Amino acid sequence: MADVLLSVRDLVVEFPTRRGTLTAINKVSFDIHAGEVLGVVGESGAGKSLTGAAIIGLLEPPGRIAGGEIRLKGERIDNLPPEGLRKIRGRRIGMVFQDPLTSLNPLYTIAQQLTETILTHMPVSKAEARQRAIALLDRVGIPAAARRIDDYPHHFSGGMRQRVVIALALAAEPELVIADEPTTALDVSVQAQIIDLIKEICSERGAAVMLITHDMGVIAETADRVAVLYAGRLAEIGPVHDVITRAEHPYTRGLMGSIPTLTQESDRLVQIPGAMPRLTSIPKGCAFNPRCGDAFGRCYTERPDPIDRPGGRQVACWLYKKEMSHV
Amino acid sequence: MSDALIRVENLWRRFDVSKPWLNRVIEREDRQFLTAVADVNFEIRKGETFALVGESGSGKSTIAKMVVGLIPASSGRILFDGTPMTGTVGADMRAIRRRFQMIFQDPFASLNPRWHVGDIIAEPIHTFGLASGADAANQVGKLLDTVGLSAKDAEKYPHEFSGGQRQRIAIARALSSRPEFIVCDEPTSALDVSVQAQILNLMRDLQDELGLTYLFISHDLSVVRHMANRIGVLYLGRLVEVSEGKSLFRQPQHPYTRMLLDAVPDLAMSGRRRKPVEGEIPNPINPPSGCAFHPRCPVAMDRCKVEAPKDRETPIGRAACFALEMQPA
């Protein structure tokens, strides 16, 4: 396997509130290898976006990293001063957010925003920066890029704006792109174009992608590996095809069964009873135990750590520990 | 057909999106109209789920609102069980009104935060004089039970419930006037998938039990495939295809439907090579001439640019496309 580009170990993110500290991300560990697409899925409140925000140091206060390590090519980035983080953000890690309207400044032209990013991170002249910007826009599929570069964001449609945001994220040729729900605000026909674009460009430049989304269909077609988060914890991680077709964690299995597909024949969807717990009332032991059909004694008292499984997978579930002890 | 519960005939809706009068005078501009729904015809049979799909701005929600009478149609007719909805007033209209209800997309916005859940659900019961006092409270309890909540929840406020539970309350409220027909406008798009599955299963169970008819609006094709008996595909306010549910996914007739199906990312990862989708939905204020889809259509001919295609029969329903004429039926 390729080199580990980003390594997250036992990440803990906390929100101190008046009624006590909420642990939004609780000991999450995963790696992203150079050039791969890692999908991060989960329901709302599972901690997907927070994981992304923690990596690039954009946690909204009072949220803070309370434990664990984040390393980019072996170098710790979770304890860098703001100035050091700023050098990494945009330069080595690019970002694409959900809503293209809020990630572009409405008062500046596309040219100003792109060249600013390029000049900040790369040793080029203004004229070169503009040339690069036009080339980037052209690459992300904006027609007549040389003319449209002087337009303002409101001149562009939603899909076109998201293309501009992708150009912006890639402007400094980062090693990792974190895309947080990049297609959620878009229509399906445009969504497909944007996903293809992200995938194409990143593989062309050897950049790794961390794709955060709630849409399993997008993950299925885009990601190499997928991490499933539940209540701020990692439930399962592994190659995307294995996780989708042969999910091991009871939560992942329920999740996959609950998604209607374009080919299924069954009349009923699998349903997981209940809903994800609130951060204030995460059950003791495994966070999924109240909704789990397979829960047994140990699940109510002790939290399972991710257990290594064949095929490069990890599952945080006691069912698999039991199995192994029999062997 | 005689068993049509809802019949929509030549429905149009234009919105006036002109600038204010003074601006128009100074800038010498004409009034501008946005045609949200253009000449739409369909019928919904008793006991079936009819779904409308399309991208944003295709007119799905506008049609839903016109069907329940939240906004008036610019022209055309909507018949409920044979009675035209425009022109019917007073007691006759109230009698029809009781028979249809609506479920909205956002359960955080559709329930009054200052009301007890019990009062929210009982409102249609009181409005239509179906019951009062203890009898009404009794019915509310039963309805809460039906949607998988408990009768005790009537005392609570909406904020005490999660999104999925709120949508259950909205369903209970819709059922309380004992309607035959429910318009569901994106009922699960604000919910997480595991909760979505619960709501979709509940809606199907209720349909089987109570013999409900649904108009189901969604942008999510896999949800629609799961729910609908028949599907109407909208593009820029025009109904381009109406087909039998599952067949639509096997053999889409209209090029736009085909494009839409190709674009959907699916769990099944069947290795199908996705055709690149071209372009975006054009501005509905100045829709393309002829067939509105022609600038994005892979099989467009000269004729498509000048002439709007009429509906023609297909093996699985109907579609409006000139290319279908050339194919052997």
- Portion of chain A with pLDDT greater than 70, in percent: 98
A264 → chain B, closest CA residue: B226
Beta strand pairing call for B75-80 and B4-16: antiparallel
Radius of gyration (Cα) for chain B, nearest Å?
21
Q: Which residues of A touch B263 (CB under 8 A)?
A: 188-189, 191-192
To the nearest whole number, what is the mean pLDDT of chain A? 89
Question: Contact B201/A192, CB-based, under 8 Å?
Answer: no
Lowest mean pLDDT among A218-222, B2-6, B66-70, B204-208: B2-6
Residue B267 and residue A259: Cβ atoms within 8 Å? yes
- For the residues B281-294, what does the mean pLDDT come to? 86
> Coil, strand, or helix at residue B40?
strand
* Contact A276/B at CB under 8 A: yes
Interchain CB distance below 8 Å, A262 and B221: yes
B198 vs A224: CA distance, rounded Å? 29
Give the 3-state secondary structure of chain A: CCCEEEEEEEEEEEEEECCEEEEEEEEEEEEEECCCEEEEECCCCCCHHHHHHHHCCCCCCCCEEEEEEEEECCEECCCCCHHHHHHHECCCEEEECCCHHHHCCCCCCHHHHHHHHHHHHCCCCHHHHHHHHHHHHHHCCCCCHHHHCCCCHHHCCHHHHHHHHHHHHHCCCCCEEEEECCCCCCCHHHHHHHHHHHHHHHHHHCCEEEEECCCHHHHHHHCCEEEEEECCEEEEEEEHHHHHHCCCCHHHHHHHHCCCCCCCCCCCCCCCCCCCCCHHHCCCCCCCHHHCCCCCHHHHCCCCCCEEECCCEEECCHHHHHHHHHC
Q: Check CB contact of A65 with chain B, cutoff 8 Å.
A: no
Average pLDDT, chain B: 89
Q: CA of A250 to nearest chain B CA: how many angstroms apart? A: 13
What integer pLDDT is reported at residue A71 of this predicted model?
94
Q: Give the contacts of A53 (CB within 8 A, at least 6 positions apart).
A: A59, A60, A63
> Residue A322: which pLDDT band, with cuts at 50, 70 and 90?
low
Q: For residue B243, give both structure tokens.
A: 């087909």
Contacts of B84 (CB under 8 A, 6+ apart): B77, B78
Task: Return the ∠ at Cα A287 (arms to A251 and B202), rounded to 5°.
Answer: 50
Give the chain B residue nearest A291 (alpha carbons).
B194
* pLDDT tens-digit map of A148-179: 999 999 888 888 888 899 999 988 889 999 99
Q: CB–CB of A52/A38 below 8 Å?
A: no
Averaged pLDDT, A122-136: 92
What pLDDT shows up at residue B275? 65
> Cβ distance B284 to B213 under 8 Å?
no
Compare B128 and A262 and report the one with higher pLDDT: B128
Amino acid at B211: G
- The total number of residues shown for chain B amounts to 329
* Cβ contacts of A275 on chain B, cutoff 8 Å: 162, 164-165, 192, 194-195
**Residue carrying the six token digits 């018949």:** B79
Partners of A32 in the beta sheet?
A6
CA angle A263, A265, A266 (to 5 degrees): 130
Determine whether the interchain pair B265/A159 forms a contact, defined as Cβ–Cβ distance below 8 Å.
no
CB contact at 8 A, A226 and A212: no
Of the candidates A315, A214, A220, A222, the residue with the CA atom closest to the CA atom of residue A263? A220
- A157 and chain B: CB distance < 8 Å anywhere? yes
First-to-final CA distance of chain A: 28
Q: How does residue B272 score in pLDDT terms, banded at 50, 70 and 90? A: low
Query: Residue B5 and residue B181: Cα distance in Å, rounded?
Result: 8
CA distance A125 to B217: 52
Helix (H, G, I), strand (E, B) or coil at B227: helix
pLDDT in tens, B100-127: 999 998 888 899 999 999 999 999 999 9
CB contact (8 A) between residue B194 and residue A271: yes
pLDDT at B149 over 70: yes
Say how far apart CA B263 and CA B276 lie, in whole Å: 8
Nearest CA in chain A to B260: A189
Q: How many percent of chain A have pLDDT more than 90? A: 50
Q: Is A266 touching B (CB cutoff 8 A)?
A: no
The 10s digit of each residue's pLDDT in B48-90 is 999 999 888 888 999 999 999 899 999 999 999 988 888 778 8
A279 touches chain B (CB under 8 A): no
pLDDT interval class at B32 (50, 70, 90): confident
pLDDT at residue number A193: 82
Give the CA count within 13 Å in the CB-facing half-sphere of A112.
9
Residues in contact with A249: Cβ distance below 8 Å, sequence separation at least 6, in sequence order: A228, A235, A236, A288, A315, A316, A317
Which of A90-94, A119-123, B49-53, B288-292 is modeled with the greatest confidence? B49-53
Does A218 contact chain B (CB < 8 Å)? yes
Q: Check whether A48 has a pLDDT greater than 80.
A: yes
Query: What does the pLDDT average to over A118-128?
Result: 91
The gap from C-alpha A178 to its chain's centroid, in whole angstroms, comes to 6
Which has more confidence, B318 or B269?
B318
Kindly tell me if the per-residue pLDDT of B271 is higher than 70.
no
Q: How far is A190 from chain B (nearest CA, A)?
A: 7
- Which residue of B lies nearest to A187 if distances are taken between CA atoms? B55
Is residue B172 predicted with pLDDT exceeding 70? Answer: yes
State whether A188 and B268 contact (CB < 8 Å).
no
pLDDT one-digit tens code per residue, A58-92:
888 889 999 999 999 999 998 888 888 888 988 89
Q: Give the number of A-B residue pairs with CB atoms closer than 8 Å.
A: 125
Mutate to test the interface with B, among A189, A272, A292 (most CBs of B within 10 A): A189
**Mean pLDDT for the stretch of residues A231-255:** 93
- Residue A327 scores a pLDDT above 70: no
Inter-chain touch A269–B200, beta carbons under 8 Å: yes
Tell me the C-alpha distance between A92 and A169, whole Å: 10
Write out residues 188-217 of A within 8 Å (CB-CB) of B.
Answer: 188-193, 195-196, 214-217
Give the closest of B200, B260, B265 to A217, CB-based: B265
Instruction: Give A288 or A265, the one with higher predicted confidence.
Output: A288
Is A189–B222 a contact, with Cβ atoms under 8 angstroms apart? Answer: no
d(CA B64, CA A103): 33
Q: What angle do CA A80, A78, A86 make, to 5 degrees?
A: 50
Helix (H) and strand (E) counts for chain B? 12, 12
Q: What is the pLDDT of residue B329?
A: 45
Report the predicted TM-score, pTM, of the whole model to 2 decimal places: 0.84
Say if A176 is an interface residue toward chain B (CB within 8 Å). no
Higher pLDDT, B44 or A90: B44
The one-letter amino acid at A30: F
Element housing B143 (H / E): helix B133-146
User: Which residues of chain B lie closer than 8 angstroms to A157, CB-CB?
Assistant: 280
Per residue in B184-242, pLDDT (tens digit) is: 999 998 888 888 999 999 999 999 999 999 999 998 888 999 999 999 999 999 999 99
Count how many Cα atoms sit within 13 Å of the Cα of residue B183 in the half-sphere of its side chain: 22
- How close B71 comes to chain A (CA, Å)? 25
Read off the pLDDT of residues A249-280 as tens digits, 9 standing for 90 and up: 999 999 988 888 887 777 788 888 888 888 88
Residue A142 reports pLDDT greater than 90: no
Point out the residue among B193, B201, B280 whose CB comes nearest to the CB of A259. B193
Task: Name residues whose C-beta falls within 8 Å of residue B208's C-beta, 6 or more positions apart in sequence.
Answer: none
| Spatial distance between the Cα atoms of B123 and B279, rounded to a whole number of angstroms | 46
Whether residue B178 is predicted with pLDDT greater than 80 in this model: the reply is: yes
The predicted pLDDT at position B286 comes to 84
What is the C-alpha to C-alpha distance for residues B235 and B247, in angstroms, rounded to an integer? 19
Tokens of B99: 């028979």
